[in-house]
C-alpha cells in the first residue's frame, strides 16, 4: 500500500530549472535511442549512451542520470512503442534513495553542484505517515503558473488485514453522485449549480476579452476542480468509514465516454468526475482493510431488483416501476441493488463473466 504526500518547497530556481532542462534532454535522448534500436533494455542503453551523456552533461549527478534512464525506458516499455513519450524543460523529475534522503523532517536533494538541504513543513494530517510508514521515493515538480516547486513524497506500508462485513452496491450518476443499496443518497444538486455558475462566468469573461477579464479568468482557474475534488473526498470518506461494509461494488464505467450522445450530454459527461471519486474511495477503503470491486453495468437500470424482469420501459427518469410485478422504487436505488446482487451471484458462480447474469428476461419466444 502506497501513499503520496505533496508538499510545496522553496528551492534555488536557477539550479533546479537548469537541472530539469538537462534531465529532460537526457530523457528524450534515451527515448530516441529506444525507438531507433527497438528495445528498452537498460543494460544496452547504459553501454551505448552513458559515457556520451556524462561528457555532454557533466554537471548532472551520475545517479540522477541513471534514474532518468530508467524512467525513460520504463515509459517506452509501458507504451510498447505505440506512442513516443517526451519531457518538457520543466517536466517532473523522479528521485530515488540514491539521489535524495529523508531524515525526520530534513530532506536533501541531488542537484547541480552540492546537494540542497531543506526542512519540510509537514501538515498535521500527514505526520503519522512520516512517523510510521517507510519512505521509498519522490518526484520533484514545478508549476510555471504559480512558479512553485512541489515534492511528491511516496511512502509504503503493509496492507492492513481485510475485514469481514456486508457487500454494498453503489450506483453513480449525474443527478446523484452515489446511491447505495441500503438507501443512502448523495445528491449532485450543489455540484450542478456550481458548474453552471462557472460556465456562465467563463463565457461572459471570454466574450469581453479585456485585460481585466483575462486576469479574472486566471484567478478563477482551478476553483471548480478544487471544489469537485473536495466534494469527492467528502463523499468517498463517508462511504469508506461505514462500519459494517467490507466490499464496495461499483459499475465499470470505463467506456462511458466512448459513445456519441450529443453535444449537451457529452459536455455533461465530460465534467463528471466519477473516476476521481472511485480512486478516492479505493485508497480510503484499502487503508481500512476493505475492497472496491467492479461489476458489468448492463441492464442494471432496466432490471427489477425483485423479480429480475428486464424491460426498457421499467424506468422513466428517476422512477422505476416493474411492468411484470409492479415493484416501485427510486431508479438509482434499484440499480444499486442490482449491482450488488449481480456481483454476489457472479462471486457465487466463481466467474467474472456476466453474460448469464445480465441476460434480458425471456418469456416464451419473445424478449421482454
What string of DSSP letters covers 261-307?
Answer: --HHHHHHHHT--HHHHHHHHHHHHHHTT-EEEEE--TTTTTB-TTT
In sequence order, the 6+-apart residues with CB closer than 8 A to the CB of 104 are 130
Give the residue ranges of DSSP H helices in 221-273: 223-240, 263-270
Give the largest Cα separation in the chain, rounded: 80
Asked if 6 and 154 count as a contact pair (C-beta separation under 8 A), the reply is no
Write the DSSP assignment of 301-349 as a string of letters. TTB-TTT--B-GGGEETTEEE-TTT--EEEHHHHHHHHHHHHHHHHHHH
What pTM was estimated for this model as a whole?
Answer: 0.77
Low-confidence ranges of the chain (pLDDT < 50): 351-368
Cα–Cα distance, 190 to 187 (Å, whole number): 8
Rg (CA), the chain: 26
How far apart are alpha carbons 71 and 109 in whole angstroms? 18
d(CA 233, CA 201): 25
**Interior CA angle at 8 toward 7 and 14, to 5°?**
135
Amino acid at each position: 500500500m502506497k501513499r503520496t504526500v505533496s508538499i510545496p518547497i522553496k528551492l534555488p530556481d536557477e539550479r533546479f530549472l537548469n537541472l530539469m532542462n538537462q534531465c529532460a534532454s537526457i530523457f528524450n535522448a534515451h527515448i530516441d535511442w529506444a525507438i531507433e534500436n527497438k528495445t528498452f533494455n537498460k543494460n544496452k542503453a547504459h553501454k551505448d549512451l552513458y559515457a556520451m551523456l556524462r561528457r555532454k552533461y557533466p554537471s548532472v549527478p551520475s545517479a540522477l542520470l541513471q534514474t532518468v534512464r530508467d524512467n525513460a525506458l520504463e515509459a517506452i516499455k509501458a507504451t510498447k512503442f505505440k506512442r513516443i513519450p517526451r519531457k518538457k524543460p520543466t517536466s517532473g523529475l523522479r528521485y530515488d534513495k540514491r539521489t535524495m534522503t529523508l531524515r525526520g523532517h530534513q530532506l536533501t536533494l541531488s542537484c547541480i553542484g552540492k546537494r540542497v538541504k531543506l526542512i519540510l513543513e509537514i501538515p498535521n494530517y500527514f505526520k503519522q505517515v512520516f512517523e510510521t510508514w517507510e519512505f521509498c521515493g519522490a518526484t520533484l515538480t514545478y508549476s510555471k503558473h504559480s512558479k512553485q516547486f512541489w515534492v511528491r513524497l511516496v511512502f509504503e506500508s503493509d496492507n492492513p488485514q481485510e475485514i469481514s462485513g456486508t457487500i454494498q452496491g453503489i450506483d453513480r450518476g449525474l443527478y446523484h453522485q452515489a446511491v447505495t443499496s441500503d438507501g443512502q443518497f448523495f445528491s449532485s444538486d450543489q455540484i450542478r449549480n456550481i458548474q453552471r455558475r462557472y460556465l456562465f462566468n467563463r463565457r461572459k469573461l471570454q466574450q469581453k476579452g479585456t485585460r481585466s477579464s483575462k486576469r479574472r479568468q486566471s484567478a478563477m482557474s482551478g476553483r471548480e476542480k478544487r471544489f469537485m475534488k473536495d466534494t469527492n473526498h467528502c463523499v468517498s470518506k463517508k462511504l469508506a468509514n461505514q462500519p459494517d461494509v467490507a466490499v464496495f461494488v461499483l459499475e465499470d464505467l470505463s467506456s462511458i465516454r466512448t459513445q456519441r450522445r450529443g453535444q449537451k450530454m457529452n459536455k455533461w459527461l465530460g465534467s463528471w468526475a466519477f473516476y476521481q471519486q472511485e480512486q478516492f474511495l479505493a485508497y480510503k477503503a484499502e487503508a481500512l482493510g476493505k475492497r472496491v470491486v467492479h461489476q458489468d453495468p448492463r441492464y442494471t437500470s432496466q432490471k427489477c431488483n425483485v423479480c429480475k424482469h428486464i424491460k426498457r420501459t421499467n424506468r422513466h427518469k428517476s422512477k422505476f416501476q416493474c411492468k411484470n410485478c409492479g415493484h416501485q422504487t427510486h431508479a438509482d436505488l434499484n440499480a444499486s441493488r442490482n449491482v450488488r446482487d449481480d456481483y454476489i451471484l457472479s462471486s457465487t458462480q466463481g466467474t467474472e463473466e456476466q453474460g448469464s447474469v445480465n441476460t434480458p428476461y425471456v418469456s416464451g419466444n419473445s424478449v421482454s
